Amino acid sequence: MSYKYKNLNITKISVVGAGQIGPDIALHFAKSLSGSGVKIVVIDISPDALDKAKNKVHKKIQKGLESGAFKPDQAQMIQDSLIFTSDYDAVKWSQIVIEAATEDENIKDKIFRQVETLTDSECIYLSNSSHMQPEVIFRNIKNKSRCLVAHYFFPAEINPIVELVPGADTADSVLNLMLGFYEAIGKVPIKVKSSYGYAIDPIFEGICQTAILCLEKGWGNEKEIDAAAVKALGLGVGPFTALNLTGGNPITAHGLDEMGKLLMPWFKTPEALKVKTQKKEPWETAKRGEVEMQYFASLPPGTEEKLVKEFQGAFFALASHILNIGIVDINDLNMACEMALVIRPPFSFMNKLGLDKSYELVKNFCTSHTTFPFPEILEKVKNEGAWKLKDIVVSQKDHVLILTIRRPKVLNALNLEVLEQIKSELKKAKNEEEIKAVVITGFGTKAFVSGADITMLASLKTPEEGYHNSHTFQTILNYIENYPKPVVCAMNGFAFGGGNELAMACTTRISKKGLAVLVCQPEVNLGFIAGAGGTQRLPRIVGIEKAAEILRTAKNVSAKEALEIGLVYKEVEGDLIDEAIKLANQIASGEVKIKTISQEPLKSNGTPKPLEIGHLSKKIDEILVKAIYEGSRLNLKEGLDLESRMFGECLTTDDMKIGLENFKTNGPKSKANFIHK
């Protein structure tokens, strides 16, 4: 058995280094690939380190088993796929070797020179360095085209972000292969140009430096400063706590001084950090269960506000500086900061706060930190009024425009901004002769689109707001439906609610083969109805009765059933995007004919069949039945307007409030206690 991704055929991956992060990297590979029979080898010269690594991984697997994250056979399969050894010969026949050793260029060089004697020329070499440039790490490797940094974040088996950093000689084909491979195994990779510390660590370590400088100035103790950082930046934990959790004092102490030499002189290891590193002492932080905010009570008047401004100024300055040096895309950096560091996304945060205020915070920070140059890019953006951000990735292949919805934190959930971005890209491509067709897909392997953004829906208060929201969504989907070039939806994972409604607006749909759950219209679980065309397009694609069953019961539809009822054109076993591109070109050339959705009224007696809806709201079902069956007697345009009015009517019910509140409080699996009013 093996795991196949494009031209990769993986039977073995070796992780060299059984210290802090190597075992977690190995565990993620095992969770993702053990089902395909891939062996994950963890190698270290220290038997003690191997024993600790093995125990650590086995405890995490056991915890996953006890929590229900793993079934017993799955847990056993993951555990059996892992091999812990001090024998470097175990590296032989690996397709990927990732080094996770000490942050020492000579040790890393020695490891890869040894690995090179044991592997073939096709083996891909990755280094989980947190700072060093690939040109330094791989300086003595003969074939540098297959070498790059893959920088994981704590905890590596859970944190989705991986920075992929190619060296000067790294082949584009290898980089692109690794970007796709990491996405396929559940990570969120971003591409970063070679630079000391890459894109994320200078921001994290810069925030840590800011915290320690505040401590040295006497602006508070570790607990108070941690609390201020959490409040200022929306951090999951404060910087001192993060340093303790990751064992990050030594690497941060080294990294800051190196960044001071290679990036800008502001970076410098504070004396307090040097002392903690030398003494191997942790910081004095809040214990589990303590409420950090209680420490503000002891601060002198004005100090809390001063700390918040200092952290925000530092954060915005650091993020702008990284963007200014041109090593990473703004959308990648914005997303990766939020997910890797559990922090507010910096550029979205600045937009929300206002560019004038953000600019002032950075200006004041740079004025008081004279070795931190004011980022020129912020000056330019201030004049433009906002950072321009996108939640879609735009690419092109074989005359086809590919639009990938990328909001991994919310499984690509839709909001109006995302749809407007799609519409904007379609408008640009409309008159471009080299673009013959379009493919719309989602990032990752789990979800095409998980539905509409619940925060957006929960903000609606009146029937008029509901009507306007529904109508606005419909207007954009109508644009997609009537686009003069074929639009193929490549459903890489499940499509819930608005995701399925987006898919149905496309010319046709294809899906990954074998998905147990491809489509669901779950709106009735939350106390409202589909409002982006679902009550009108679904009946015109699969028939009224089948559509009514799907819409009224929120039943799951597998890829197999979706094919049988005509909701998708085909299931795909191989590369979904390549197949979508091929089909899009075939439709554009006329080689393949696709039946379009009827714009006319459907032939129906308009009488709903009795249907068991269980605990679901009878009031919402009444509104939904009206939308489906009365809409079937109207043309599509009139039916969509009826749907918008019925969606607005949901906001007059108690059950919509109950459903949304239950979802926010208890999650999607909890049944709401509807009162049918």
| Structural domains of the chain sorted by starting position, each given as residue range(s) with its CATH number in brackets | 3-191 (3.40.50.720), 201-384 (1.10.1040.50), 392-666 (3.90.226.10)
Mean pLDDT, residues 363-371: 98
**Is the pLDDT confidence value at 548 over 90?**
yes
Question: How high is the pLDDT of residue 536?
Answer: 97
pLDDT tens per residue across span 315-363:
999 999 999 999 999 999 999 999 999 999 999 999 999 999 999 999 9
Residue with more model confidence, 383 or 586: 586
Closest CA to 161 of 132, 135, 199, 127: 199
- If pLDDT is split at 50, 70 and 90, which confidence band does 669 have? confident
Q: Which residues contact 512 (CB under 8 A, 6 or more apart)?
A: 445, 491, 492, 493, 559, 571, 572, 576
Considering Cα of 128, then 134, then 140, then 144, what sign does the dihedral take?
positive
pLDDT tens per residue across span 107-127:
999 999 999 999 999 999 999
User: Other CB atoms closer than 10 Å to residue 314's CB: what's the count?
Assistant: 28
Mean pLDDT, residues 37-54: 97
Query: What predicted TM-score, i.e. pTM, was given to this entire model?
Result: 0.93
Residue 311, classed as helix, strand or coil, is helix
User: Active-site residue 338, yes or no?
Assistant: no
Instruction: State the distance between the two ends of the chain, measured CA to CA, in whole angstroms.
Output: 56
**Do the Cβ atoms of 496 and 471 come closer than 8 Å?**
no
User: Active-site residue 360, yes or no?
Assistant: no
**Is the pLDDT confidence value at 249 over 80?**
yes
pLDDT tens per residue across span 625-662:
999 999 999 999 999 999 999 999 999 999 999 999 99
Amino acid identity of 175?
A: L
Amino acid identity of 654?
A: D
Q: Which residue has tokens 């944190």? A: 159
Average pLDDT across the chain, whole number: 95
Question: How high is the pLDDT of residue 422?
Answer: 98
Residue with more model confidence, 302 or 482: 482
Question: How high is the pLDDT of residue 293?
Answer: 53
The two tokens of residue 548 are 């009514």
**Distances from the Cα of 675 to the Cαs of 275, 304, 461, in angstroms?**
63, 46, 19
- If pLDDT is split at 50, 70 and 90, which confidence band does 1 have? confident
Question: How high is the pLDDT of residue 609?
Answer: 83
Q: Which residues contact 594 (CB under 8 A, 6 or more apart)?
A: 486, 507, 508, 569, 587
Question: How high is the pLDDT of residue 605?
Answer: 65
d(CA 504, CA 648): 22
Question: Which of the following is catalytic: 157, 183, 304, 523?
Answer: 523
**Distances from the Cα of 212 to the Cαs of 114, 153, 163, 222, in angstroms?**
40, 22, 26, 8
**Is the pLDDT confidence value at 292 over 60?**
no
Beta-strand runs (E) in 68-123: 82-85, 96-99
User: CB-hemisphere CA count at 13 Å for 150?
Assistant: 29
- If pLDDT is split at 50, 70 and 90, which confidence band does 275 have? very high
Q: 394 pairs with which residues across the strands?
A: 403
Question: How high is the pLDDT of residue 608?
Answer: 86
pLDDT tens per residue across span 90-110:
999 999 999 999 999 999 999
Question: How high is the pLDDT of residue 267?
Answer: 98
Closest CA to 210 of 292, 298, 270, 281: 270
Question: How high is the pLDDT of residue 162?
Answer: 98
pLDDT > 90: what percent of the chain?
Answer: 92
pLDDT tens per residue across span 10-32:
999 999 999 989 999 999 999 99
pLDDT tens per residue across span 135-164:
999 999 999 999 999 999 999 999 999 999
Question: Which of the following is catalytic: 205, 501, 571, 643?
Answer: 501
- If pLDDT is split at 50, 70 and 90, which confidence band does 297 have? low
- If pLDDT is split at 50, 70 and 90, which confidence band does 211 have? very high
Question: How high is the pLDDT of residue 5?
Answer: 95
**Is the pLDDT confidence value at 202 over 80?**
yes
pLDDT tens per residue across span 421-472:
999 999 999 999 999 999 999 999 999 999 888 888 888 999 999 999 999 9
- If pLDDT is split at 50, 70 and 90, which confidence band does 290 have? low
- If pLDDT is split at 50, 70 and 90, which confidence band does 607 have? confident
**Is the pLDDT confidence value at 547 over 60?**
yes
